[in-house]
């Protein structure tokens, strides 16, 4: 991050969460799941605090780029980008970049499609929210429905668990000139390996380490 200056805000947030958690665990030593010598954990906390100070002092270089920017793209391409998001907060965040993107991010049809992607018709029919003009406010509907029903989770790469071998692994993907090929990612000894595979979401992966 110090060299390429990529995503410093995200790293700052991660370090803040990590330092806060470590402080709580160190203060509650003997009562927590902290493993190892307490002095080692204090040294690790000091290292994290040093990283935080370095990020705080980081001076961002002004990037000089004469190429195309997001604002230069035609409206239909910007709209296409928004329609590919599956998270409402991503749409709102992108809509804050320019007035044009804000206008596109407020499109009723966009939020309707998002509701239809995540929720069944019988679910949003129970929580219809009309706007002042009498139309359904699909944006408010999306966030209201989130409180009642889980949204679909979608990831580029998904961790898998083999029930036969009891191991975690990533599926491997190969690209050829004519097709995309996948294998199981590990040499399973089961007669039918595909029946033993179970996708593991990030939350499920974290739950595996809970005591």
- What CA–CA distance (Å, rounded) separates 1 from 11? 8
End-to-end Cα separation, the chain, in angstroms: 33
Q: Per-residue pLDDT averaged across 60-75, rounded?
A: 74
Q: Minimal CA–CA distance to 196: which of 152, 162, 154, 147?
A: 162
Tally: H helices and E strands in the chain: 9, 5
193: which DSSP letter? G
Give yes or no for residue 165 having a pLDDT over 50: yes
- What CA–CA distance (Å, rounded) separates 137 from 17? 35
pLDDT number for residue 42? 84
- What CA–CA distance (Å, rounded) separates 211 from 197? 24
Phi, psi of 134 (to 5 degrees): 95, -5
What is this structure's pTM? 0.51
211 band by pLDDT with thresholds 50, 70 and 90:
low
Q: Per-residue pLDDT averaged across 37-61, rounded?
A: 83
Q: Minimal CA–CA distance to 150: which of 198, 173, 118?
A: 118
Give yes or no for residue 176 having a pLDDT over 60: no
pLDDT number for residue 75? 92
* Percentage of the residues of the chain whose pLDDT score is greater than 70: 79
């Amino acid at each position: 991050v110090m060299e390429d200056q990529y995503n410093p805000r995200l790293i700052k947030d991660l370090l803040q969460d990590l330092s806060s958690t470590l402080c709580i665990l160190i203060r509650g030593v003997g009562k927590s799941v902290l493993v190892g010598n307490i002095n080692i954990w204090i040294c690790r906390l000091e290292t994290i605090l040093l990283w935080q100070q370095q990020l705080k002092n980081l001076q961002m270089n002004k990037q000089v780029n004469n190429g195309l920017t997001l604002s230069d793209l035609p409206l239909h391409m910007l709209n296409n980008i928004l329609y590919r998001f599956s998270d409402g907060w991503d749409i709102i965040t992108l809509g804050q970049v320019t007035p044009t993107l804000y206008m596109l991010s407020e499109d009723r049809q966009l939020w309707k499609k998002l509701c239809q992607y995540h929720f069944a018709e019988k679910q949003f029919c129970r929580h219809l929210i009309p706007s002042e003009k009498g139309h359904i406010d699909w944006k408010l509907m999306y966030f209201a429905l989130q409180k009642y029903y889980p949204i679909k989770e979608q990831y580029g790469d998904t961790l898998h668990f083999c029930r036969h071998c009891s191991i975690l692994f990533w599926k491997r993907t190969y690209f050829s000139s004519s097709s995309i090929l996948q294998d199981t990612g590990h040499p399973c000894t089961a007669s039918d390996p595909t029946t033993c595979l179970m996708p593991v979401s990030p939350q499920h992966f974290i739950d595996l380490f809970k005591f």
